[in-house]
Structure 1
Amino acid sequence: MGKKIAKGFDARYPSISDLRNRAMEKMPKFAFEYLDGGCNEDVNLIKNTAEIREVELLPYYLSKHTESVMKTEIFGHTYDAPFGIAPVGLQGLMWPNAPEILAKAAFEHNVPFVLSTVSTSSIERISEITEGQAWFQLYHPTENSLRDDIIRRAAVAECPVLVILCDVPTFGFRPRDIRNGLAMPPKMSLKNILQIMGKPEWAMKTLIHGQPNFETLKPYMPKGLDLKQLGKFMDQTFSGRLNEEKIKPIRDMWKGKLVLKGVANEADVEKALRLGIDGVIVSNHGGRQLDAGESTIKPLSRIAEKYGDQLTVMMDSGIRSGPDVARALASGAKFTFMGRSFMYGVGALGNNGGNHTISLLKTELQQVMEQICCERVEDFPKHLIKGKA
């Protein structure tokens, strides 16, 4: 088994659960809860992880098996594994320099890193780290001129894929963030300051890298905004509500691959097809937006079965391990993304967190493929036990 563990693996943390526990110890409580929590009562957050694990896989032990290869081609690029790093907002708040740490690891392991509009590194910096291989997720601005300029910058940075977000028409109701002062407008309380003082490594690295900012948005922000003004700026500048009329000019402008993230039903996939979208990411924003919604694995199965031959169907939300990646692929996803798992890794291990988490997930997925005698990623659906997705 030792020879098969991927490079960069830290044996002290052999599971995502171990990384989560260590990250909780090292991050200020308000930052960890921002990462870890869902919305309302966390019903959909819990369903996401529970219901994907109801999917069961069938091994074929007497088949003629030679080797298992997890390389996966999507959008003309062959990645070394069928998973990537999902866009996460305010990454540098959770762990200093997190987007750069993860982008570097993704590039070294040849898996995609997706930068969020509201993360804490710029399009240009992440493009430099990844040599133009990072994807970019657009959080839709209210002004067309701002939308066009951000898209232009993503094109100049040679991002191969533009991801447009459709599942945040309104901010999720997140009680933890409200209690911790991380709602809009944010505020820093004495309680938060005391939490920072109790996490010296996080505090020191924040001093080194500077207070986290929305780096991609800096050119458009008035100088010297206080926290209350920042909240007002974000509220006035962005509208997460998408419709066909808002997507059409993006499709006309963007010459690369275009992906719609946050799809949760067949009707929206039909519209995406009409608009010339190249792929969809079935997602419920990690259970952070609609507590009364479905877990992601359920619409994924329906959408993949109906539309999988017409566009690239991918999934995030609820995937926390190599076996979870296998379950999603068996249920019809061509590719998968994870956000929290990688942020737990960085919170636990800092600069080595990205490398370790990718190595852990590769090792777990390789073991599953060899165990069930699955030679190629595209063969996973043959191993799905029907009625379990």
Structure 2
Amino acid sequence: MDLSINKKYPSVYDLRERAKKKIPNFAFEYLDGGCNEDVNLHKNTSDIREVELLPYYLSKHTRSDMKTELFGHVYDAPFGIAPVGLQGLMWPNAPEILAKAAFEHNIPFILSTVTTSSIERIGELTEGRAWFQLYHPTEDNLRDDIINRAAAADCPVLVILCDVPTFGFRPRDIRNGLAMPPKMSVKNILQILGRPEWALKTLVHGQPNFETLKPYMPKGLDLKQLGKFMDQTFSGRLNEEKIKPIRDMWKGKLVLKGVSNEADAEKAIRLGLDGIIVSNHGGRQLDAGESTIRPLVRIAKEYGNQIKVMMDSGIRSGPDIARTMASGAEFTFLGRSFMYGVAALGAKGGDHTISLLKMELQQVMEQICCENIGDFPNHLIK
């Protein structure tokens, strides 16, 4: 096995522990936390880890190939980097670090509307290979302008988000002043002073901003005005009438993220979408909901032959990717794992985390005698 990683951090858990020591606590809790009592946050991963895989030790096996075709492109692995808001808050320049690493490793990177790099910059870094996730604006002209910018940046896939009809109730963020409108407290300032590397790099790269949204924001907003702007600018509740004009306008592949039941999957098919991402926003929206692996199994079985079925939320490691693929997903996305990597290792964090996940997944495939990604369901213990 090629251990071309930093051997001090041979697991995502190690990266998480390192990240906790490298960034201010308010930033770590924003990254690490879920909503309400964190029930679904933990259930996402624990339910994935109930899935068991069957090894075949005496079967003929030549090699395991994790290359995966998705929307006409062959990726080097069946996982990508999920959209995460405010990435630059957790580590300065994080979206650019991750986009570069994703491009070099030939896996997809999804840019969030509310992260800290612009569509144009990420499109440039990835030579038009990055996907873009759209938070639905309240105004049609703003929606159309953002979509046109994504098209001009050659984004091959537009992801529309359906699981944020209202902001999740996140006690940590409220205590830390990161709810809308955000507020920087004396406690937060003291935490920054205790993380000099983070503070220095933030000084170099500048205070994180919603770079994609800058052209639409009045200049000189204070934090309270920023919260009001965000509340007035975006309406997270999607419906079929809001999706139809996006489908008509967008000529590339269109994916609905946040699907958690069969009824919404069926509507996505009826509206002519190309894919769905089964997701519960990383356990950050509905603590009383199902974990993602449960509806994935049902949706993949019912609709997997009609639409691309993918999954995020709760996946942390190579074995988790394998379990999810065996359960019916055609592709997977991870968010926190990559952010732990960047927060722990800075500019080297993206490459390290991707390499680590590839190595873990490769080991599982060889162990169970799985020759290609499509063979994973044959190793699922029912």
TM-score, structure 1 length as denominator?
A: 0.98
Identify the residue that residue 208 of structure 1 maps to in structure 2. 204
Identify the residue that residue 215 of structure 2 maps to in structure 1. 219
The within-5 A match list for 1:20-59 is 20-59=16-55
Alpha-carbon distance between aligned partners in 1 of 2:221 and 2:55, rounded to the nearest angstrom = 57
Identify the residue that residue 262 of structure 1 maps to in structure 2. 258
1:376: how far off? Answer: 0.3
3-state DSSP of counterpart to 1:137: strand
User: Could you report, residue by residue, the CA deviation over 1:143-172 in whole angstroms, capped at 9, with x for unpaired residues?
Assistant: 000000000000000000000000000000
1:256: how far off? Answer: 0.2
Gaps of 5+ in 2: none
1:63: how far off? Answer: 1.0
User: Could you report, residue by residue, the CA deviation over 1:22-46 in whole angstroms, capped at 9, with x for unpaired residues?
Assistant: 0000010000000000000000001
Alpha-carbon distance between aligned partners in 2 of 1:162 and 1:125, rounded to the nearest angstrom = 16
Alpha-carbon distance between aligned partners in 1 of 2:6 and 2:77, rounded to the nearest angstrom = 19
Identify the residue that residue 235 of structure 2 maps to in structure 1. 239
Alpha-carbon distance between aligned partners in 1 of 2:374 and 2:279, rounded to the nearest angstrom = 21
1:64: how far off? Answer: 1.1
User: Could you report, residue by residue, the CA deviation over 1:244-267 in whole angstroms, capped at 9, with x for unpaired residues?
Assistant: 000000000000000000000000
Alpha-carbon distance between aligned partners in 1 of 2:295 and 2:318, rounded to the nearest angstrom = 21
Report whether the alignment pairs 1:98 with 2:91: no
Alpha-carbon distance between aligned partners in 1 of 2:150 and 2:6, rounded to the nearest angstrom = 34
Report whether the alignment pairs 1:150 with 2:142: no
Alpha-carbon distance between aligned partners in 1 of 2:236 and 2:95, rounded to the nearest angstrom = 22
Q: Which of 8, 15, 28 is the matching residue for 1:12? A: 8
1:115: how far off? Answer: 0.1
RMSD: 0.5
Identify the residue that residue 331 of structure 2 maps to in structure 1. 335
Identify the residue that residue 226 of structure 2 maps to in structure 1. 230
Percent identical among aligned pairs is: 84
Alpha-carbon distance between aligned partners in 2 of 1:256 and 1:164, rounded to the nearest angstrom = 13
Q: Which amino acid aligns with 1:268?
A: D
User: Could you report, residue by residue, the CA deviation over 1:35-81 in whole angstroms, capped at 9, with x for unpaired residues?
Assistant: 00000000000100101000000001111111000000000000000
Identify the residue that residue 294 of structure 1 maps to in structure 2. 290
Identify the residue that residue 111 of structure 2 maps to in structure 1. 115
The within-5 A match list for 1:149-188 is 149-188=145-184
3-state DSSP of counterpart to 2:254: strand
3-state DSSP of counterpart to 2:117: coil
1:122: how far off? Answer: 0.1
Alpha-carbon distance between aligned partners in 2 of 1:72 and 1:137, rounded to the nearest angstrom = 21
Identify the residue that residue 376 of structure 2 maps to in structure 1. 380
Q: Which of 124, 127, 131 is the matching residue for 1:128? A: 124
Q: Which of 277, 286, 293 is the matching residue for 1:281? A: 277
Identify the residue that residue 318 of structure 2 maps to in structure 1. 322
Identify the residue that residue 313 of structure 1 maps to in structure 2. 309
Gaps of 5+ in 1: none
